[in-house]
Amino acid sequence: MDHARRPTFCQPTRSGPARSGPGRSEPGRLEVVLRHVVAVGVVVLLLVPEARGSHPVIGWLPMWLFAMPVCAWWMARRMGRQEPEATVARRSRVPMARRLASPAPRGKRGRRAVVPRAA
C-alpha cells in the first residue's frame, strides 16, 4: 500500500494520548509539578503516621500535604482552559433599564423621613 494513500485511521496522530481531545491541550509545567506534589503528599500521608496529625506552627498537615495541592492543581487546570474571549465582558446590545425619579429619602428604620415644610 502506498504511504501517500493511507486511510485516515492508519495515519499517526500528533495529539498524544487517546484521552486528549480536541479541546484538551498538553499539560503545562505547573500542572505536571502540582500532579507530582499531590502524588508525593498522598504517599507521605499513607506511609508516615505523624503526617496525619497537626503541627503547632503549620496546622493540620493533611491539608497542606494533600488538600491545598489538589486545590492548586484544580485551579491551574481551570484557568488553563479558559478562552481569552470568555474573560472579557461583552457589551450587551440590549439597553439597560434606566432609573426613574429617585424615591423619597428614608429615615433610620426604613420609614420615609418626614421632611418639614417651609411655612
Choice among 13-17, 77-81, 90-94, 96-100 with the minimum mean pLDDT: 13-17
Range of the domain at 74: 26-82
pLDDT band at 86 (very low <50, low <70, confident <90, very high): low
What is the Cα–Cα distance from 106 to 112, expressed in whole angstroms? Answer: 4
Cell numbers standing for residue 86: 470568555
Rg, Å, the chain Cα set:
30
Domain presence at residue 76: yes
Does position 10 have pLDDT exceeding 60, yes or no? no
CB 65 within 8 A of CB 46: no
Percentage, residues of the chain above pLDDT 90: 33
In this structure, what DSSP letter does residue 29 have? Answer: H
The predicted pLDDT at position 23 comes to 56
- pTM for this predicted structure: 0.48
> Which residues on adjacent β-strands are paired with residue 112?
106
Domain presence at residue 98: no
Domain presence at residue 36: yes
CB 105 within 8 A of CB 115: yes
Domain presence at residue 20: no
Domain presence at residue 75: yes
